[in-house]
Structure 1
């Protein structure tokens, strides 16, 4: 009896832990986004839409941030607000000139993000997966850098 209970507990624990490292679906190019690519990194998660003027304006800032921060372990990720998938997502991301990874599957549930009715909205998520900041409106590279530096404790 005790052995069966131990086995059941081990299986349950492994299933629960497996959810922690679950992959993030695919990106705008249809490539699988592995958990190890994102988990353990600081994230700048930006929600955008083609019809959003400020989104279009901030894309070059986010592209610059993604390039600049790559070596620092900070990932810039996009999510299409309208839930575009497949070829539609790729086409929209290309039309806006997005050079950073766009997730086809919204990670809002994973990070317990509130649904924002305003765009653009950007979340800063720490390397433990905790949402540290919700930023409404157009962001700049400089402003995001200041926020992340402050959140990291000036490091």
Structure 2
């Protein structure tokens, strides 16, 4: 193999590997969550746990928000206890979660602080900046209001 061909292959492999590192892992259904699906969008990241009563009450509100046509936000869940794989799928289904649940915690990627209380919801703008941290149970209407306020601010 010529030096030129080896160099081209090395560049292609490097680009493929570096592109994969931008992905967000998989969701509760073991489907890949690509960076392209989430880049440049408003993100609402909700931390929940199976044992958290207010989390259970909040999930239907988040399901409605995720389906709301004017919300223009990606609703993502994260299991506070770090549950993975089949256990994550089972818990998500048992709680009736219809939005995407990330198997990998995006806290480091997005520089989100660790909350000592649940539920906690973070709103991240299309530039990847944390704009709001909401502790406690949220409603669809309340979150729509917060999103509208944040979108009006520079």
Is the 2:65–2:71 contact (alpha carbons within 8 Å) kept by the matching residues of 1?
no
Residue in 1 aligned with 2:28? Answer: 28
The residue number in structure 1 matching 2:78 is: 79
Distance 1:66 1:121 in 2: 16
Which aligned pairs between 1:76-155 and structure 2 lie closer than 5 A? 76-153=75-152
Confirm or deny: 8 A CA contact 1:123 1:134 kept in the other structure.
Answer: yes
Q: Aligned to 1:27, what secondary structure does the other structure show?
A: coil
Contact 1:21 1:35 in 2 (8 A): no
C-alpha displacement at 1:72, in angstroms?
Answer: 5.2
TM-score, L = length of structure 1: 0.84
How far off its partner does 1:82 sit?
Answer: 0.4
Aligned to 1:7: none
RMSD: 2.0
Q: 2:38 matched to 1:41?
A: no
For structure 2, the 5+ residue unaligned runs are: 1-10
Structure 1's unaligned 5+ residue stretches are 1-10
Query: How far is 1:73 from its partner?
Result: 3.5
Residue pair 1:48, 1:55 contacting (<8 A) in 2 also = yes
Displacement, 1:67?
0.4
Structure 1 residues 34 and 57: alpha-carbon distance in aligned structure 2, compared to 1, 3 A threshold: same
- Assess if the C-alpha contact under 8 Å between 1:119 and 1:136 holds in 2: yes
- Give deviations 1:54-84, integer Å, cap 9, x for gaps: 0000000000000014x65410000000000
User: Distance in 1 between the 2:42 and 2:152 partners?
Assistant: 13
TM-score w.r.t. structure 2 length?
Answer: 0.85
**Runs of 4+ deviating beyond 4 Å:** 18-21
